[in-house]
Structure 1
């Protein structure tokens, strides 16, 4: 793509009154975004949705000058400009009718050829949400998806920090220009994100964080990925907006269920009740729905040699559960009880004892798994 084409897309995005839908329509109508600006005002007003005022805006040379300045400023800061028609523009996002006409990207990441997963949730996450984030990343490691979120407090920064620590590439979608970071406390994580990941925004440099910007940002989070996981959410908030957008884009939505008494599970439970989200029961379920293919490793699997080498001292009931979890990975309470020839009440008592010994740990949905020291 030539520099003139890139400038034309930036200019189109800048024109007052032109949104993503109309901008895409104009580009499709003329077959080349540059041709928009070589039309007469009379020719432009014949296009549905373009009145005299908007036609005048399209031909106003100030937007060309502003586009040129923005391009140069972005280039000087190592920021790429990704027009909608360019090869580097994320393919899945391009499918969304209201996708930004131009994305600004900082970081070396290339979206093509990579699977992705968007993860969002409340800014006031609980220990339940934190444990789930850790479990999710441990289990999807064989598939190595891009982890997409919004760098906000709570679930967003938790999943992105864990992703970096575990070797995932991660993408932060921002609600402001890429010459700043909000919240400021998260500046310290940017260098790690940028090693292999990216910061993304549709906003020009100098655009400050405003509430409506983050609503617009949420559609990028939803559009970049074939699936969005909502970890925890109240009945209102940005994560529910993101889930609704993903649902409207006909993408998969998964919600982590919680107790009806937990305020930050209420939004997830509502999504499930409204049939806007799958009840997320296991990572295998998520991977199967998305047709992910791993590199030959199945989460939770071990060789018998490794099982024997790492086995702790156990009584007979604990040993049966230990072997079952070693061979089958994460399992629900009822299956553990049946397979280990215990009543549910007996299994609960044994599992509690194993949890106190740091051999197993509970997961959402009455599931249990061995702790990492016995699975690595």
Structure 2
């Protein structure tokens, strides 16, 4: 099928995604739509004389030519609804875009895709959750999607890049600009390990009405949506509601009852619109995910384990009997937040096990560990 006709189909005034899909169902290809006469076009439900005239006019094709020049200049991929590389999860949504513009190298049909959303006014708690989530999910070979907005969104992207996880930002504007502008440097890194995705052509501004449309793509492209931190109103709750309407999994991290920045998460959990998670292990358990074989081999200690100086101190302090994190903090003089991250890393490598009451125990005698 001709690329210019695919683009032109989305440029017809007063023709949205539903009408465009009706046209495709009737004529089968974009070329056939633009090759039809007025009478044939009016046989399609929702197409009246005025819309048929617009289809037969030159405006849509003129706009499509402008986009074609932009696409070729900046090596943008165009994903049409009937293409094999169109995100199949999104294709199954009734309001899926007919066409997407994409820059990046991530597989949008990756076996495991997680959307991470939250407030633009992220607290230290929310940012720490993003860090811990990315660190733990790195072993599960996932793709993380978010909206590149302030707060939780950009933190999720940053932490994904930090831990080598491909991450895709879904935009509410064209690929010729970045909003907010301050995130341009992160966006450039994402194109190299992940990508940027939008349904909006170049020259489209980040207008207010575009963000709910952006949110439906974030919800629809993934297996599960995780709300990290959210107030009582905002885009994160909208995305969660959309994900629920698509019958996708939704999870949320709980917050303290008096924290305004966690009101939305607590509400989702309380009303059974989201499952409660406190760690990435919860997510893996609910979804039935297993660690990749390579990760399992590393966890079995058949390969050398590289540990930081502080992690080696922790192992020296641990014995085969369980020790509480508070006791470790007193012994080692390591801040509890930092200590928790070290313990998580050691647990992910299969060196120790977490027990009820925030206690930790070695899986084997330290002398048998092949530590570098």
Establish whether TM, by shorter chain, passes 0.5: yes
Counterpart in the other structure of 1:331: none
d(CA) in 1 for partners of 2:297 and 2:131?
14
Question: Does the aligned pair in 1 maintain the 2:110–2:142 contact within 8 Å?
Answer: no
Q: In 2, Cα distance between the equivalents of 1:315 and 1:258? A: 31
**Gaps spanning 5+ residues in structure 1: where?**
323-346
Matched residues in 2 for 1:226 and 1:158: separation?
20
Structure 2: how far apart are the matches of 1:246 and 1:62?
35
Structure-to-structure mapping, 1:214-233, within 5 angstroms: 214-233=211-230
Matched residue, 2:292: 295
- Residue 267 of structure 1 corresponds to which residue in structure 2? 264
User: Does the 8 Å CA contact 1:300/1:375 hold for their aligned counterparts?
Assistant: no
**Mean Cα deviation higher: 17-26 or 262-271:** 17-26
Describe the superposition over 1:16-60 as per-residue Cα deviations: whole angstroms up to 9, x where unpaired.
111112211221122223212222222222322222222222222
Give the aligned partner of residue 160 of structure 1.
Answer: 157
Matches within 5 A, 1:131-210: 131-210=128-207
**1:370 alignment partner, one of 321, 331, 343:** 343
User: How many angstroms apart in 1 are the aligned matches of 2:56 and 2:203?
Assistant: 24
Q: 2-side partners of 1:373 and 1:282: how far apart?
A: 15
TM-score by length of 2: 0.83
- Residue 375 of structure 1: CA displacement? 6.5
- Residue 55 of structure 1 is matched in structure 2 by 52
The 3-state SS of whatever aligns with 2:82 is coil
SS in 1 for 2:168: strand
The answer on whether the counterparts of 1:119 and 1:149 sit within 8 Å (CA) in structure 2 is yes
Match of 1:357 in 2: 334
SS in 2 for 1:211: coil
Change (3 A) 1:289 1:21: farther
Extract unaligned runs of 5+ from structure 2.
350-372
Query: Which residue in 1 is equivalent to 2:355?
Result: none
Distance 1:108 1:348 in 2: 41
**Structure 1: distance between partners of 2:45 and 2:347:** 64
Measured against aligned partners, the alpha-carbon deviations of 1:40-89 in whole angstroms (never above 9, x if no partner) come to 22222232222222222222222112112211222111211111111221
Query: 1:309 Cα shift?
Result: 5.9
TM-score (norm 1): 0.83
Q: 2: distance between equivalents of 1:35 and 1:236?
A: 45
**Are the equivalent residues in 2 in contact too, given 1:171–1:197 (CA < 8 A)?**
yes
Residue 355 of structure 1 and its aligned partner are, at CA, apart by 8.8
Given the alignment of the two structures, is residue 213 of structure 1 paired with residue 190 of structure 2, yes or no? no
Q: For residue 282 of structure 2, what is the aligned residue in structure 1?
A: 285
Structure 2 equivalent of residue 71 of structure 1: 68
In the alignment, does 2:16 pair up with 1:16? no
Distance 2:297 2:252 in 1: 20
Shift in CA distance, 314/152, structure 1 to aligned 2, threshold 3 Å:
same
Alpha-carbon spacing, 1:309–1:260, altered in 2? closer, same or farther (3 Å) = closer
Q: How many residues align?
A: 343
| TM-fit CA distance, 1:270 | 0.9
2:331 and 2:169 mapped to 1: Cα distance?
38
Q: Is the 8 A contact 2:216 2:243 kept in 1?
A: yes
Deviation string 1:227-276 (CA, Å, 9 cap, x unpaired) is 01000000111111111111111111111111110001100111112211
Cα 1:375/1:31, change in 2 over 3 Å: closer
Aligned to 1:341: none
Where in structure 2 are the equivalents of 1:241-252 lying within 5 Å? 241-252=238-249
- Inter-CA distance 82–273: structure 2 relative to 1 (3 Å threshold): same
CA distance in 2, matches of 1:234, 1:26: 41
The C-alpha deviation readout for 1:280-325, integer Å capped at 9, x for no partner, is 1332231233333321336996759979965456498xx7444xxx
1:351–1:57 distance in 2 versus 1, CA, 3 Å: farther
Mapped partners of 2:347, 2:336: distance in 1: 8
Question: SS of the residue aligned with 1:92?
Answer: helix
User: Does the CA-based 8 Å contact 1:121-1:155 persist in structure 2?
Assistant: yes
Contact 1:119–1:230 (Cα < 8 Å) also in 2: yes
